[in-house]
Amino acid sequence: KLKDDQRHGANIVARACEAPLLHIAQNAGLEAKVVVEKVREGKGTYGYDARKDRYGDMTDWGIIDPMKVVRVALENAASVSGLLLTTECAVFDAPQPEAPAPGGDMGGMGGMGGMGGMGGMGGMGGFGM
């Protein structure tokens, strides 16, 4: 019999295992929760084949997950979960404030050149200064 925290963890893993089937059923345009419930009622390798829209024994149809891939994924997930649960503290780099963006120039606002008698504002030539 599982303790409360163990039961909670087992429920999390069970929901995570159902997630791919939920997405497959949704992508097939089906009521995902109905598909999951039908698969839950089955025994062993019973499942849903979205390509052919049928329920049955997945192994008989040659639809299988490589066991090593599934096992390693679950082992890694458990390892990371355990690490997070037993970590007492973590050290992070403090985020550095971003430097303000440099001001843009006033493109298209050229000098005063072309105005009669001002000579482009260079020392206000033209006025005898």
Q: Which pLDDT band, with edges at 50, 70 and 90, does 106 fall under?
A: low
Please indicate, yes or no, if residue 41 is contained in any of the structural domains: yes
Residues in contact with 60: Cβ distance below 8 Å, sequence separation at least 6, in sequence order = 45
Please indicate, yes or no, if residue 110 is contained in any of the structural domains: no
pLDDT value at 101 more than 70 = yes
pLDDT value at 120 more than 60 = no
Q: Which pLDDT band, with edges at 50, 70 and 90, does 127 fall under?
A: low
Domain count of the fold of the chain? 1
Q: Residue range 53-63: average pLDDT?
A: 93
Burial profile 11-21: b = 16 or more Cβ within 10 angstroms, e = fewer = eeeeeeebeeb
Q: Range of 26's domain?
A: 4-62
In terms of pLDDT, which residue wins out, 38 or 125? 38
Please indicate, yes or no, if residue 124 is contained in any of the structural domains: no
**pLDDT value at residue 129:** 47
